[in-house]
Amino acid sequence: MDLTGIMGTVGLIALTLKVLDFLKNLTSGKAGLNSVVTQLCAWVAGIVAVFLYGESQLGDGVVVGSITLDHADTATKIIIGLSIASVGSAVFDFKKAFDRSDSAKQPSLTSLSGEKEAA
């Protein structure tokens, strides 16, 4: 298997894991709202970034399989964007698991996840 095949497999695994995380957070009510919004934002950002990059003069420098990004079809660009965002999210989750000092703490995208319930 060449490097493209390995990277495609890693992207597919990460995407699958992040979709499962997304579904778990989606069904957990208010507790998972921030994670749901964050993952949706990451996926949208990944897709937008791939489309913008593909339309730029740099798009011919990125090769996916045997196709350059500027010649990739819409479905391919969406899959690449989702995969890139999922790999990034998985790497961030991995880093968070080892950051016991919480020095990389990020603010919540939703105010609900940071609120305490009234007694």
Crossing angle of helices 33-55 and 74-98, rounded to 10°: 130
Per domain, the residue ranges of the chain are: 22-95
Q: Say what the pLDDT of residue 103 is.
A: 65
Q: Say what the pLDDT of residue 41 is.
A: 94
Q: Say what the pLDDT of residue 54 is.
A: 93
Mean pLDDT by 10 residues, the chain (119 residues): 70 90 88 88 95 93 86 93 92 80 65 49
> pTM of the predicted model, to two decimals?
0.77
| Residue type present at position 51 | F
Q: Say what the pLDDT of residue 117 is.
A: 43
Residue 36, burial from CB neighbour count under 10 angstroms (0-12, 13-18, 19+)? buried
